[in-house]
Amino acid sequence: MSPFNLETCARPNILALEPYRCARDDYKDDGTNILLDANENAFGPPLSPPSPASPSQDGPLLDLSTLHRYPDPHQTTLKHLLCALRTTHAHTPRTLSPANLFVGVGSDEAIDALLRCFCAPGRDSILVCPPTYGMYSVSAQVNDVGLVKVPLLPAPGFGVDVPAVLATLSGPQAGAIKLVYLCSPGNPTGSLLQKEDVRAVLEHPTWNGVVVVDEAYVDFSAPEASLAEWVVEWPNLVVMQTLSKAFGLAGIRLGAAFTSPEIARLLNSMKAPYNISSITAGIAEFAVSEEGGGLKKMRENRGLLIAQRERMVRELARIEGVGRLRGGEDSNFLLYEMLDREGKPDNVTALAVYEKLAETKGVVVRFRGKEHGCLGCLRITVGTEDEVTRFLAALKKTLAEVRGVAPAADEEEKEVAASGVVA
């Protein structure tokens, strides 16, 4: 028999690893569920496949005859288009170029590549500001890199605690901290970080490290919110973006990291030779280009989504048992408290609502109550008009069931009852 022993052969940090989990680990999609858990774009990608009624395709023309050839390893065309998209001169008169870009398999490839580039396993650390995206810590553990946590300021602002971050980067741990990951707009907070706060970290007088700003949701915020242009001014800044959210292309796994040419060269040297497929690149080029209508369609879908986000803010405030909006309104999701019978935010209530919504109403959201500063909170992705209607009705009934109180009728229900009409 082989003497192989997994426990002594595998790296200890990998044996101890808890993988990134999502709500769909608990609730699989059977085709009827409303999926408001993963911050996908419910309005879909900015392209339409051909149909029998309309044989012309509103989307990229992909040359499948070339699939026996490896794709462009440099993604030159795509990088030019991404630079044109993010060069707005809102923050600097200078212009982004393809030399400022690394393109990877979602933002997750950039998160991991930065760790491998700057952090020595078993010695260095990264700094994160919880509550924040869980893959920073997962990637750190995979790479045997330490994790230093400086929590965000309390809700509803969820801003960077600048004095605490600066103090940490000046303290005894500072030499080992090579990366600071800032999520803006935050996940699960939905709050955009202040430009001045990011600048303060970049301008630390003694710390030698890289500031990484994750802008996965920035297209749902103000047009000038992205700091991608800043990478031409700051040699220690990386701004990550993705086509998974506003562009509705989570399925193609395409992310970008804007940074200095020097850091971009390092990241591009580390990647697999052909990390982006020809099909992925072709779809992405269509989506971020004015030509063909990809950008126009994305903006139309974004407008529809923002309208539903505003509707959810209005209507959630009227549902008994829904507490405060704890984060911001700069993303395609909202973070809300669920209240117990005494009117206090409560994890038992929130978890019960999360489970019953999925199990009895077919509506999947995300329980975030164990995250720092998110007691009793559910994170709810904004859906289509029909999905939001179904979610609001389901939440109202579920909260009443969980809290053991009769649901209050809204004005429309009262009018129907008064008229004697059977709804």
Q: Please check whether residue 35 is in contact with residue 388, taking contact to mean a CB–CB distance below 8 angstroms.
A: no
Check residue 362 and give its pLDDT.
93
Residue bearing the bigger pLDDT, 304 or 409: 304
Using the predicted structure, report yes or no on whether residue 59 has a pLDDT greater than 50.
yes
Check residue 3 and give its pLDDT.
76
H or E element that contains 104 = strand 101-104
For residues 365 and 297, give the distance between their C-alpha atoms in angstroms, rounded to a whole number.
Answer: 26
Check residue 418 and give its pLDDT.
41
Confidence (pTM): 0.88
Q: Which residues contact residue 406 at a Cβ distance below 8 angstroms, ignoring those fewer than 6 apart?
A: 400
Q: Helices in 211-293 by DSSP H: which ranges?
A: 261-270, 278-287
Residue 419, φ and ψ in degrees, nearest 5: -80, -15
Per-position b or e across 213-231, b if 16+ CB within 10 A of its CB: bbbbbbbbbeeebbbbbbb
For residues 327 and 173, give the distance between their C-alpha atoms in angstroms, rounded to a whole number.
Answer: 30
Using the predicted structure, report yes or no on whether residue 336 has a pLDDT greater than 80.
yes
Using the predicted structure, report yes or no on whether residue 190 has a pLDDT greater than 50.
yes
Give percent above pLDDT 90 in the chain.
75
Give yes or no for a cis peptide into 188 (omega within 30° of 0). yes
Strands (E), 151-247: 177-183, 210-214, 237-242
The candidate with the shortest Cα–Cα distance to 141, out of 5, 25, 12, is 12
Average pLDDT over residues 379-383: 97
Q: Please check whether residue 399 is in contact with residue 353, taking contact to mean a CB–CB distance below 8 angstroms.
A: yes
Using the predicted structure, report yes or no on whether residue 239 has a pLDDT greater than 50.
yes
For residues 168 and 165, give the distance between their C-alpha atoms in angstroms, rounded to a whole number.
Answer: 5
SS3 content of the chain, % helix, strand, coil (to 5): 40, 15, 45
CB-CB neighbours of 122 under 10 Å: 10
Using the predicted structure, report yes or no on whether residue 167 has a pLDDT greater than 50.
yes
Q: Tally the residues of the chain.
A: 423
Question: Domains in the chain, start-ordered, CATH in brackets?
Answer: 10-44+295-413 (3.90.1150.10), 70-292 (3.40.640.10)
Residue bearing the bigger pLDDT, 17 or 303: 303
Residue bearing the bigger pLDDT, 195 or 415: 195
Average pLDDT over residues 194-218: 96
Using the predicted structure, report yes or no on whether residue 23 has a pLDDT greater than 60.
no
- Split at pLDDT 50, 70, 90, the class of 154 is very high
Check residue 21 and give its pLDDT.
63
Check residue 194 and give its pLDDT.
96
The candidate with the shortest Cα–Cα distance to 298, out of 242, 372, 363, 362, is 242
Average pLDDT over residues 346-356: 96
Q: pLDDT digits over 277-317, tens only?
A: 999 999 999 999 988 789 999 999 999 999 999 999 999 99
